[in-house]
């Protein structure tokens, strides 16, 4: 499948910029809708007010009462990095604010399913909680919340996932994506919602005289922002202004090595330098180690790593998480190989017809904790929504499935359409635009696959299935500099919805060699440059060789080797000139 290169629209760059800012960076910002320096001045004071969140007053009253009365609070998180960091933020934050009895539980993927289920509520005994606080889940937990309330347990739902037609009967719900909610940033991750609640709760307790009584110290909740940054980046929510404020504040703590012991240990065990950390390091090195625990074992291991203040214990836990992540990579590689073989078989048996618009895959031996990664890899390769399914592993006939989508196709809305057309076909589902989870009966996978394909084919515009790589245009010879690469590296935070700069130029090949079994290390010439520039292309097609002259989309990168830094291009796409 060919990729079309498309330049971002050229826009006016005559905004209020510091004179020292490189013109290329001004152009990059402007192409992302940034017209003034204030829009990239990511001061924490500019964070959207938590008071605008719907349900925030009821949540603060509920939590403040539990703290004052010493009630037993249990945080119910999710088994991904957003859920793990959100749980750690909730536990740490409530303890900082004076809660004396705070614990947490994360559902077992095979035993309890997702979120606050009736099966999980039934295990909350000896002693039972008096207040349950969900983090990164709960807005779809109709039965679970009802089961808790029937036992006399108060429930606060904090979530960011899109709600269904019915809301749970919780004491309070805080979710910026509820209909009519006035909070300006709908892109908050679960951990961001929890952080906002804690900020509002601190103000509520302050006004009620909680800190003045008995000389209590009012805590600095900024200590939690390293966790907020990790969860926000890991959950791939759009980095709008508010999320960039949170992520940048958290990155500053990590770079200054003032992060929690667990994050610093995870950064170091992944081979990164905390002082030079960028969002992609969190997303590709730290978050997978947290996620691996929830995928293959128990997310409690990841949460404990984020809760401990003992550096030695944190390092031990980080090492264990790295070992689990290595196991996850092996399992993932095997499952992706099976998925690609299944796609190839489909093409052959269907006389090379086009693939379904929405593709559903299922294998009996797949692990339910890794299907999301399979779906993500296949949707990138095939450029269409993909749903990967695996047996639930609990002895039932159910399958757990993860959906991943592409730009312009809202996968949760597609699932809602399927559910409306064929009620009962999907047992449970939830999620957001780019990712969702669902449960099916194994016997209905074929019917679901056909219906999902039909809905996507009818609702999605045809041009959305063509891969497009957006670039920031060409660079001049003088722009190929280490200084500009450094400036771009820390000019974000870059991430989902605020893409890292990519440029395009024509090059001539001076030399190249294979690194490992599938990576190209090249020396390229551009125009009249006196010296060649180093470049890398990762995961080249097996057996392919670079052409003598080609057009490339690339990023400027700072290559670090033996304590020295040099300019290097990371090639994202290559096409013969």
SS3 track for 137-201: CCCCCHHHHHHHHHCCCEEEEECCCCCCCCCCCCCEEECCCCCCCCCCCCCCCHHHHHHHHHHHH
CB atoms within 10 A of CB 326: 12
Exposure pattern of 528-557 as b/e (b: 16+ CB <10 Å)? eeeebbebbbeebeeeeebeeebebbbbbb
pLDDT confidence bin for 395, thresholds 50/70/90: confident
Q: What is the pLDDT of residues 136-155, one digit of tens each?
A: 999 999 999 999 999 999 99
Residue 361 backbone dihedrals phi, psi, to 5 degrees: -125, 145
Pull the structure tokens for residue 430: 């939830």
Question: Which pLDDT belongs to residue 362?
Answer: 95
Question: Which pLDDT belongs to residue 11?
Answer: 61
Average pLDDT taken over every residue of the chain: 93
- High-pLDDT (> 70) share of the chain, %: 98
Alpha carbons 80 and 322: distance in angstroms, whole number:
15
Q: 447, 422 in Cβ contact below 8 A?
A: yes
DSSP lists the bridge partners of residue 443 as: none
If you average pLDDT over residues 1-24, what whole number do you get?
76
Q: Is the pLDDT score of 352 beyond 80?
A: no
If you average pLDDT over residues 225-248, what whole number do you get?
96
Q: Is the pLDDT score of 116 beyond 80?
A: yes
pLDDT confidence bin for 505, thresholds 50/70/90: very high
Q: Is the pLDDT score of 13 beyond 60?
A: no
Q: How far is CA 386 from CA 210, 419, 463, 575, in A?
A: 51, 17, 17, 27
At residue 473, the 3 state secondary structure works out as coil
Question: Which pLDDT belongs to residue 115?
Answer: 83
Question: Which pLDDT belongs to residue 392?
Answer: 87
Q: Is the pLDDT score of 265 beyond 80?
A: yes
Q: Is the pLDDT score of 271 beyond 90?
A: yes
Question: Which pLDDT belongs to residue 186?
Answer: 95
CB atoms within 10 A of CB 334: 15
51 against 467, higher pLDDT: 51
Q: 171, 126 in Cβ contact below 8 A?
A: no
Please name the residue that has the structure tokens 């979530």: 159
Q: 573, 5 in Cβ contact below 8 A?
A: yes
If you average pLDDT over residues 250-264, what whole number do you get?
97
Q: What is the pLDDT of residues 163-214, one digit of tens each?
A: 988 999 999 999 999 999 999 999 999 999 999 999 999 999 999 999 998 8
Q: 399, 440 in Cβ contact below 8 A?
A: yes
Question: Which pLDDT belongs to residue 10?
Answer: 64
Lowest average pLDDT, out of 237-241, 266-270, 528-532, goes to: 528-532
Residue whose C-alpha is closest to residue 503's, from 559, 467, 558, 551 = 551
DSSP element (H, E) containing 402: strand 398-404
Q: Is the pLDDT score of 14 beyond 80?
A: no
Enumerate domains of the chain plus CATH numbers: 46-247 (3.90.1640.30), 354-465 (3.10.310.30), 469-576 (2.40.50.460)
DSSP lists the bridge partners of residue 5 as: 469
Q: What is the pLDDT of residues 52-98, one digit of tens each?
A: 999 999 999 999 999 999 999 999 998 889 999 999 999 999 999 99
pLDDT confidence bin for 15, thresholds 50/70/90: low
Whether this model's pTM surpasses 0.85:
yes
pLDDT confidence bin for 123, thresholds 50/70/90: very high
Residue 231 backbone dihedrals phi, psi, to 5 degrees: -65, -35
């Amino acid at each position: 499948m060919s990729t079309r290169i498309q330049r971002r629209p050229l826009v006016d760059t005559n905004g209020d910029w510091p004179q020292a800012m490189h013109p290329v960076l001004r152009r990059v910002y402007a192409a992302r809708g940034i017209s003034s320096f204030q829009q990239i001045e990511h001061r924490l004071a500019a964070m959207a007010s938590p008071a605008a969140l719907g349900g925030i007053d009821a949540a603060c009253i509920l939590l403040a009462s539990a703290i004052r009365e010493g009630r037993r609070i249990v945080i119910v998180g999710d088994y991904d990095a957003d859920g793990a960091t959100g749980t750690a933020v909730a536990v740490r934050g409530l303890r900082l604010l004076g809660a004396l009895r705070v614990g947490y539980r994360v559902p077992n993927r095979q035993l309890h399913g997702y979120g606050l289920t009736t099966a999980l509520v039934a295990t909350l005994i000896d002693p039972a909680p008096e207040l349950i606080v969900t983090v990164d889940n709960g807005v779809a937990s109709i039965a679970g919340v009802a089961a808790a309330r029937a036992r006399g347990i108060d429930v606060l739902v904090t979530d960011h996932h899109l709600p269904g037609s019915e809301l749970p009967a919780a004491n309070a719900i805080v979710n910026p994506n509820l209909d009519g909610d006035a909070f300006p940033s709908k892109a908050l991750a679960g951990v961001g919602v929890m952080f906002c609640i804690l900020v509002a709760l601190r103000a509520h307790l302050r006004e009620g005289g909680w800190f003045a009584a008995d000389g209590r110290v009012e805590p600095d909740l900024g200590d939690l922002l390293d966790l907020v940054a990790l969860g926000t980046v890991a959950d791939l929510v759009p980095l709008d202004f508010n999320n960039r404020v949170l992520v940048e504040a958290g990155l500053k703590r990590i770079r200054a090595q003032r992060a929690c012991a667990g994050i610093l240990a995870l950064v170091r065990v992944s081979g990164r330098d905390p002082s030079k950390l960028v969002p992609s390091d969190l997303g590709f090195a730290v978050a997978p180690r947290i996620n691996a625990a929830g995928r293959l074992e128990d997310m409690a291991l990841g949460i404990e790593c984020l809760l401990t203040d003992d550096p030695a214990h944190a390092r031990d836990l980080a090492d264990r998480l790295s070992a689990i992540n290595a196991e996850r990579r092996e399992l993932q590689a095997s499952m992706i190989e099976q998925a690609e073989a299944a796609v190839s078989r489909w093409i052959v048996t269907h006389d090379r017809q086009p693939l379904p618009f929405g593709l559903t895959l299922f294998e009996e031996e797949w692990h339910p904790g890794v299907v999301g990664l399979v779906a993500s890899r296949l949707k990138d390769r095939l450029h269409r929504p993909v749903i990967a399914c695996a047996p639930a592993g609990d002895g039932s006939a159910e399958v757990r499935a993860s959906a991943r989508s592409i730009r312009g196709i809202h996968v949760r809305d597609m699932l809602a359409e399927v559910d409306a057309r064929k009620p009962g076909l999907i047992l449970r589902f939830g999620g957001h635009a780019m990712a969702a989870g669902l449960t099916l009966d194994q016997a209905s996978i074929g019917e679901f696959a056909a219906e999902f394909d039909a809905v996507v084919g009818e609702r999605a515009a045809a041009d959305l299935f063509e891969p497009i790589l957006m670039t920031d245009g060409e660079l001049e010879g003088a722009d190929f500099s280490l200084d500009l690469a450094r400036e771009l590296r820390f000019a974000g935070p870059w991430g989902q919805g605020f893409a890292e700069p990519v440029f395009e130029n024509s090059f001539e090949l001076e030399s190249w060699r294979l690194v490992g079994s599938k990576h190209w290390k090249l020396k390229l010439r551009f125009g009249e440059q006196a010296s060649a520039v180093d470049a890398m292309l990762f995961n080249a097609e097996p057996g392919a060789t670079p052409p003598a002259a080609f057009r490339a989309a690339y990023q400027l990168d700072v290559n670090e080797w033996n304590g020295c830094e040099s300019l290097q291009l990371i090639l994202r796409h290559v096409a013969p000139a």
